[in-house]
Amino acid sequence: MKFVFITGGVLSSLGKGITAASVGLLLKSRGLKVTIVKIDPYLNYDAGTMNPYQHGEVFVTDDGGETDLDIGHYERFLNENLSKRNNITAGQVYMEVVERERKGVYLGATVQVVPHLTDLIKERIKEVARDYDITVVEIGGTVGDIESLPFLEAARQMGLEESSFYLHVSYVPFVRSVGEIKTKPTQHSVQKLREIGIQPDALVARGEIPLTPEARRKLALFSNLPLRAVVSAHDVDNVYEVPFLLDGQGLDDLILEKLGVGVYRPKDLSAWRDFVGRVEGGNKRVRVAIVGKYVEVRDAYKSLLEALVHAAAETGVGVEVGLIDAIDLEKRGTDPLKDYSGLIIAGGFGRRGIEGKIKAVQYGREKGIPTLGICLGMQLMTVEWARNVLGLKGAHSEEFDPKTPHPVIHILPEQKDLKRMGATMRLGGQDVRLREGTLIHSLYGRDTVRERHRHRYEFNNAYRQKFSESGMVISAEVGELVEAVEWPEHPFYIGVQFHPEYSSKPLQPHPLFVGFLKASNRL
């Protein structure tokens, strides 16, 4: 087995996830089988119950994992689906160690971080790596964090057992007042990493501007590295350019040399280069509003934003996205929406901002503006239709009004009386049957599609006939569960219960977003 371990220094949110994804793409472009593992040192079992303001979006894998958003980056760059096994948390390994102890697996031994916890971490990583040529492992957090220490120790031990490459991503600030790049924070970060027992094989220097020759020499000297192993990762216009930045400095060559991997085939980044060129080349512009409730944090809608980038590249349309606070719409009305050509009503949980989203839905329906509702967005399209088209006064979702006289959205039977919140929703991929002759069927061009879910509430079939008779078409189903609704008299008015953004990829843009952008630009 061969591994690339990626650690972080100085501060978080540097882009370790993008670096890991880019390294994975470069290695895969050589014909190697590559996968990526994200280790999160927090004690949560998974990301499912975490606040979007603290953690960003919860990315859902096809096998039903509620994971860190970096798994989304990995899927998009590798152009393949990953498993919930690719996201390891401290909560998972600590829980399993305790369960093993309770079962007597350790035969009465004193259970310790080393070797019992670190052995389990290594076991989990190797389990994922078994069928791959190279496994990239991103260790979340920053060197020096207490919670990261067991994972760094496991990574150190794996260097003694398996062919391993250590890549340290660290912050190199540019101090404008003196016009100088400062290397000292990274020097201290590398020193801390070496104290733990890990000597990095390469350094990725994240910063606002490219490294100067002097800064590169200083970083190489104090990191005990050759100059070619210090890679400048300065800011770029979009994250999909990062693989070219790393490739141009020979990072993948360095990794393959250290791991002793022969080149399987010449590097082929042509499809990726074509995609990036189309992202940057759109002449026409269209403004799209995402109406949500976590708009202060763009990462809360990361996959949704990226899905629009993929669709923009496919259609040749430049997209400008505005994040509109649903609570603001409750206070000010729909005036903030007037400059947008398309509306996406995003998912979410809790009653805050619900009436603002319903106002946005009504605005899009009545004004003929292309409108796409996702998960909660689809449910609120149903509520708005029930109230304003069917005339069902007080219609609502049971989630927000348990005593509503018209529960057009109700809880799934298996979701009632749950004792635990984590990993108990309807989660992951399911095969969705599309109705022939509908817009959604024409966009996909297939009878059945696989899409991912994350919800507890569902369309109430007791109201199915009323909706159908009034012109709202139920256009997709899983068994008897309603998966999509649309209004044929509108230019583009579709609500889907699933999350299409999770399965959109740069080289496989999602047809719903492509169709939505075309309609928004009247193509």
Q: How far apart are CA 345 and CA 372, in angstroms?
A: 6
Can you give 353-382 as a three-state secondary structure string?
CHHHHHHHHHHHHHHCCCEEEECHHHHHHH
Q: Which CATH number fits domain 2-273: 3.40.718.10, 3.30.70.100, 3.30.70.1400, 3.40.50.300?
A: 3.40.50.300
Q: How far apart are CA 328 and CA 322, in angstroms?
A: 13
Cα-to-chain-centroid distance, residue 221: 37
Mean pLDDT in residue range 453-467: 97
Mean pLDDT in residue range 51-67: 93
Mean pLDDT in residue range 449-474: 97
Mean pLDDT in residue range 495-516: 98
Q: How far apart are CA 84 and CA 1, in angstroms?
A: 21
CATH says 282-520 is which class?
alpha beta
Mean pLDDT in residue range 247-274: 93
**140: number of Cβ within 10 Å:** 25
- pLDDT of 227 above 80: yes
Reading the block at residue 247, the tokens are: 């490739």
Can you give 363-432 as a three-state secondary structure string?
HHHHHCCCEEEECHHHHHHHHHHHHHCCCCCCCEECCCCCCCCCEEEEECHHHCCCCCCCCCCEEEEEEE
- pLDDT of 474 above 70: yes
Average pLDDT, the chain: 95
Mean pLDDT in residue range 387-411: 97
φ and ψ at 219, to 5 degrees? -65, -40
Is residue 73 among the annotated active site residues?
A: no
Name the E strands within 65-175.
Answer: 66-67, 87-89, 134-139, 163-171, 174-175
- Residue 269 forms beta bridges with which residues? none
Contact status, residue 365 vs residue 309, Cβ threshold 8 Å: no
pLDDT value at residue 272: 97
- pLDDT of 50 above 60: yes
Pairing mode, strands 180-181 and 174-175: antiparallel
pTM of the model: 0.95
pLDDT value at residue 420: 77
| Residues 181, 182, 184: CA angle, nearest 5 degrees | 160
Chain segment 8-29, per-residue pLDDT in tens? 999 988 999 999 999 999 999 9
Is residue 499 among the annotated active site residues?
A: yes
| Fold match between domain 2-273 and domain 282-520 | yes
Tokens 């909560």 identify what position? 91
Is residue 490 among the annotated active site residues?
A: no
Contacts of 338 (CB under 8 A, 6+ apart): none
Reading the block at residue 514, the tokens are: 């492509």
Q: How far apart are CA 217 and CA 117, in angstroms?
A: 38
pLDDT band, very low/low/confident/very high, at 396 (cuts 50, 70, 90): very high
Chain segment 194-220, per-residue pLDDT in tens? 999 999 999 999 999 999 999 999 999
Stated as kind and residue range, the H or E segment containing 255 is helix 251-259
What residue ranges do the domains of the chain occupy? 2-273, 282-520
pLDDT value at residue 12: 86
Pairing mode, strands 371-374 and 396-397: unpaired
- Residue 411 forms beta bridges with which residues? 457
Name the E strands within 104-234.
Answer: 134-139, 163-171, 174-175, 180-181, 202-207, 230-234
- Catalytic pick among 153, 458, 486, 501: 501
**Listed range (32-36, 46-50, 70-74, 447-451) with the worst mean pLDDT:** 46-50
- List Cβ<8 Å contacts ≥24 apart for 295-300: 295/323, 295/324, 295/325, 296/53, 297/52, 297/53, 297/56, 298/323, 299/52, 299/56, 299/57, 299/69, 300/52, 300/53, 300/56, 300/57
pLDDT value at residue 422: 79
- Residue 169 vs residues 27, 154, 204: alpha-carbon distances, Å: 18, 18, 5
- Catalytic pick among 57, 75, 375, 510: 375
pLDDT value at residue 523: 54
Chain segment 282-320, per-residue pLDDT in tens? 778 899 999 999 988 889 999 999 999 999 999 999 999
- Catalytic pick among 73, 406, 499, 510: 499
Stated as kind and residue range, the H or E segment containing 288 is strand 284-292
Chain segment 401-457, per-residue pLDDT in tens? 999 999 999 998 888 877 777 778 999 999 999 999 999 999 999 999 999 999 999
- pLDDT of 245 above 60: yes
Chain segment 93-122, per-residue pLDDT in tens? 999 999 999 999 999 999 999 999 999 999
